[in-house]
Amino acid sequence: MSEVSVKVYGPLALQLNQREVKVEAEKIKDIFISLDNKFGTNSYDKITTDEQGRNISGDMQVVIDGKIERDLEKRIKFDRGVLPYIKIIPLAGGG
């Protein structure tokens, strides 16, 4: 796995007490699992997925390089050593 930098917002940022976090991740779901392991949270357990493993919960939105990404099984692309710009945004009304 590679280390990625993730920006977190809303209640998640307050809970983690920081805005930017470095975690080990190969796939989108690894970001949540790493955050949970690092901070004792349970954000991954709160995500509801469909049969294809796509995020349909409405609780958390993952944005990579400006595009919403719902496929939690998708591999994170590293372009010539440049880290992708990843944001995790808890949506209003989400659990």
Instruction: Tell me the per-residue pLDDT of 30-67, one tens digit each, with 9 for 90 and over.
Output: 998 998 898 888 888 888 888 887 887 767 788 888 89
Residue 82 has pLDDT above 90, yes or no: no
Q: Which CATH architecture has domain 2-90?
A: Roll (3.10)
* H-state helical runs in the chain: 10-16, 28-39, 43-46
- Binning the chain into helix, strand and coil, the percentages to the nearest 5 are 25, 35, 40
Q: Do residues 3 and 22 touch, judged by C-beta distance below 8 A?
A: yes
Tokens representing residue 53 in the block: 């493993």
User: Residue 8: which of 60, 84, 79 has the closest Cα?
Assistant: 60
For the whole model, what pTM was predicted? 0.79
Q: Is 53 helix (H, G, I), strand (E, B) or coil?
A: coil
